[in-house]
């Protein structure tokens, strides 16, 4: 069953402009939000502008929530949950869009700064599934926070403005790479060799009796004078190394976007925007955007944490007549689209895909009944009844969609947050946007797939 290209639906200039306009707003978001903290802050600010109020403030005031109220809760500045209260009782369940806002990257270690042969370096540890060799010889930027002992927070974003310096991981020149070129791809660039070059200018100080590590000392001088940071402050810093520069239109026809972090912000953004587009729902609506999916959804800001469960308990309490049973029912009776990306068919690498069950650019929102690896290990595997319901919802709304799995059986695999939500006895299916170059520094998506995801998420919310 071959799906038709979704662009064919948009025949007029006005119709196509809706697609391109939405994509341009997303492109700007992707350019400006390259970390989970930046995403959470962006969505919280947009939510407040749209009339959402902080659940923390509701709890502090003791106010009761009523139908139509819009609230949000931020999880340690790295995740966010947003709700629009429906007319039905919460225990009848919610329609939930869940996505993650972390992406593969390099993290700066806690004791990172050193000097070697008059070069100042920052030691890194890669985060998530990356091909190390893709991260060398690129202009890279530093994003994150440095927290001092007094609790003050210094925000860092260096490498994005035209006047900013950039950083990078060097590679061996081809003239001396005969041994390197014989290595397996997984060994060409070792994890401990991905250190960031950040300086080469020595600090000359007549009062310095040691006259050692002068380049490192100059970097520390710059950090102290420009940011008020001492070397020990790296101990309580979260600094992420990401590709420098804005997301760009891709292709002669500008039908695609190349950018860092499509996985999974290309699903998080339309999920959030879909929630903003719906008013006065019957069922309570939720948009859940979490951290740490790329490393197993662990920790206090990952999907395995109790953040969402605790937040739902607070909602039930703020509606009045709290009981643990109501919380359990609210979770059990919920329906979820686990909004995560799928691997797009690449004509350069057709051998890893089974064409009848692959996701294609331009054919709309992708549903993955299951993900996992080998024998569906680690997968949610949605029930046929729920898949049938999604087919009806999308067809009734005229949404272009396709079904896929993540490559050939035994070729590899991957996972999402779907199975974690499924542990609450919710109905869950993976649905998202097809991505080329997934987990590379620069990924590619189709604009029409992004727009169909947005339309599909709205259709799901109002169903």
Which helix (H) or strand (E) is 236 found in, with range? none
The mean pLDDT value of the chain amounts to: 95
Domain 6-103+260-461 falls in which CATH fold? Aminopeptidase (3.40.630)
Using the structure block, give the residue that is written with the tokens 């939510």: 47
419-443 tens-digit pLDDT: 999 999 999 999 999 999 999 999 9
Is pTM, for the whole model, over 0.85? Answer: yes
Instruction: Report the percentage of the chain scoring pLDDT > 70.
Output: 99
pLDDT band at 65, cuts 50/70/90? Answer: very high
188-244 tens-digit pLDDT: 999 999 999 999 999 877 677 677 899 999 999 999 999 999 999 999 999 999 999
Q: Cα(259)–Cα(412) distance, rounded to whole angstroms? A: 24
Burial of 61 (0-12, 13-18, 19+ CB in 10 A): exposed
pLDDT band at 400, cuts 50/70/90? Answer: very high
21-34 tens-digit pLDDT: 999 999 999 999 99
Residue 134: its pLDDT value, please? Answer: 97
pLDDT band at 68, cuts 50/70/90? Answer: very high
Over residues 63-85, the mean pLDDT reads 97
350-372 tens-digit pLDDT: 999 999 999 999 999 999 999 88
Q: Does domain 105-243 have CATH number 2.30.250.10?
A: yes
Q: Any idea where the domains of the chain sit in the sequence?
A: 6-103+260-461, 105-243
255 Cβ partners below 8 Å, 6+ apart?
7, 362, 446, 447, 448
Q: Cα(366)–Cα(156) distance, rounded to whole angstroms? A: 36
The strand ranges marked E within 78-139 are 79-84, 94-100, 105-116, 119-127
């Amino acid at each position: 069953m071959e799906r038709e290209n979704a662009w064919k639906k948009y025949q007029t200039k006005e119709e196509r402009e809706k697609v391109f306009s939405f994509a341009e707003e997303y492109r700007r978001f992707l350019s400006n939000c390259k970390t989970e903290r930046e995403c959470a802050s962006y969505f919280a600010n947009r939510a407040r502008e749209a009339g959402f109020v902080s659940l923390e403030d509701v709890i502090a005031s003791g106010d009761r929530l009523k139908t139509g109220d819009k609230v949000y809760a931020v999880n340690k500045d790295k995740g966010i949950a947003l709700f629009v209260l429906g007319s039905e009782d919460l225990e009848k369940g919610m329609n939930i869009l869940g996505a993650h806002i972390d992406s593969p990257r390099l993290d700066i270690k806690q004791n990172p700064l050193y000097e070697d042969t008059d070069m100042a370096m920052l030691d890194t540890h890669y985060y998530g599934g990356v091909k190390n060799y893709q991260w060398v010889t690129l202009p890279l930027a530093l994003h994150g926070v440095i927290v001092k002992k007094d609790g003050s927070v210094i925000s860092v974003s260096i490498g994005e403005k035209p006047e900013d310096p950039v950083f990078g991981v060097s590679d061996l020149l081809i003239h001396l790479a005969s041994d390197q070129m014989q290595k397996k791809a997984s060994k060409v660039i070792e994890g401990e060799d991905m250190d960031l070059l950040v300086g080469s200018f020595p600090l000359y100080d007549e009062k310095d009796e040691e006259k050692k590590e002068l380049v490192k000392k100059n970097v520390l001088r710059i950090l102290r004078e420009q940011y008020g940071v001492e070397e020990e402050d790296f101990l309580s810093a979260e600094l992420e190394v990401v590709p420098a520069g804005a997301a760009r239109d891709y292709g002669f026809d500008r039908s695609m976007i190349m950018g860092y972090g499509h996985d999974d912000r290309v699903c998080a953004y339309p999920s959030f925007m879909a929630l903003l587009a719906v008013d006065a729902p019957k069922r309570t609506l939720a948009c859940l955007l979490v951290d740490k999916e790329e490393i197993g959804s662990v920790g206090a800001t990952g999907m395995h944490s109790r953040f969402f469960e605790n937040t739902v308990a607070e909602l039930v309490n703020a509606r009045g007549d709290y009981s643990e049973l109501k919380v359990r029912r609210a979770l059990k009776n919920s329906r979820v689209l686990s909004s995560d990306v799928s691997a797009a068919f690449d004509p350069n690498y057709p051998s890893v895909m089974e064409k009848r069950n692959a996701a294609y650019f331009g054919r709309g929102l992708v549903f993955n009944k299951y993900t996992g690896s080998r024998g569906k290990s680690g997968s949610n595997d949605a029930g046929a009844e729920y898949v049938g319901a999604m087919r009806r919802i999308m067809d009734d709304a005229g949404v272009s969609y396709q079904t896929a799995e993540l490559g050939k059986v035994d070729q590899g695999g991957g996972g999402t947050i779907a199975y974690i939500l499924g542990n609450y006895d919710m109905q869950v299916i993976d649905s998202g946007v097809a991505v080329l170059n997934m987990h590379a520094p620069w990924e590619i998506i189709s604009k029409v797939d992004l727009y169909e995801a947005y339309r599909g998420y709205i259709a799901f919310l109002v169903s």
